[in-house]
Amino acid sequence: MYRFLLSRQWVILTLIALVLIPVMVELGFWQLHRHEHRVAQNQRVTEALAADPVPAEKLTSPGHEVPKTDLYRRVSAKGTYDAKHEVVVRRRTNSDDEVGFHVLTPFVLDDGKVLLVNRGWIPADGPQTAFPKIPAPPKGEVTVTGRMMADETSAASGIKDVRGLPDRQIMLISSGQQADALGKQVLGGYVELTSPEAVGGSPQLIGGPDHSGIGPHMAYAVQWWLFAAGVPVGWVVLVRRERRDRAAAAAAPAPEATPAPV
The DSSP string of 72-125 is: T-EEEEEEEE-GGG-EEEEEEE-TT--EEEEEEEEEEETTS-EEEEEEEEEE--
75-86: pLDDT as tens digits: 999 999 999 999
Residue 163 clears pLDDT 70, i.e. is over it: yes
Q: What is the mean pLDDT of residues 175-186?
A: 96
User: Which residues make Cβ contacts (< 8 Å) with residue 206, sequence separation at least 6?
Assistant: 102, 118, 120, 121, 192, 193
Of the pLDDT bands very low, low, confident and very high (cuts 50, 70, 90), residue 185 is: very high
CA angle (66, 83, 163) in 5-degree steps? 60
Of the pLDDT bands very low, low, confident and very high (cuts 50, 70, 90), residue 19 is: very high
**Strands 74-81, 54-55: parallel, antiparallel or unpaired by DSSP?**
parallel
Alpha-carbon distance values, 118 to 43, 81, 229 (Å): 24, 11, 51
User: Which residues make Cβ contacts (< 8 Å) with residue 204, sequence separation at least 6?
Assistant: 94, 120, 121, 122, 198
Residue 214 clears pLDDT 90, i.e. is over it: no
User: Which residues make Cβ contacts (< 8 Å) with residue 174, sequence separation at least 6?
Assistant: 151, 152, 153
Query: What is the spatial distance between Cα 23 and Cα 2, in angstroms, rounded to a whole number?
Result: 27
| Mean pLDDT for the chain overall | 91
Q: What is the mean pLDDT of residues 10-33?
A: 95
Residue-range domain boundaries for the chain: 57-195
Of the pLDDT bands very low, low, confident and very high (cuts 50, 70, 90), residue 258 is: low
Nearest to 44 by CA among 76, 77, 67: 67
Q: Would you list the DSSP string of 206-254?
A: PPPP--S---SHHHHHHHHHHHHHHHHHHHHHHHHHHHHHHHHHHHSPP
Of the pLDDT bands very low, low, confident and very high (cuts 50, 70, 90), residue 196 is: confident
Q: What is the mean pLDDT of residues 211-224?
A: 90
Q: Answer yes or no: are the C-beta atoms of 227 and 102 closer than 8 Å.
A: no
Q: What is the mean pLDDT of residues 100-114?
A: 96
**Strands 190-195, 142-149: parallel, antiparallel or unpaired by DSSP?**
antiparallel
The model's pTM: 0.77
48-82: pLDDT as tens digits: 889 999 999 999 999 999 999 999 999 999 999 99
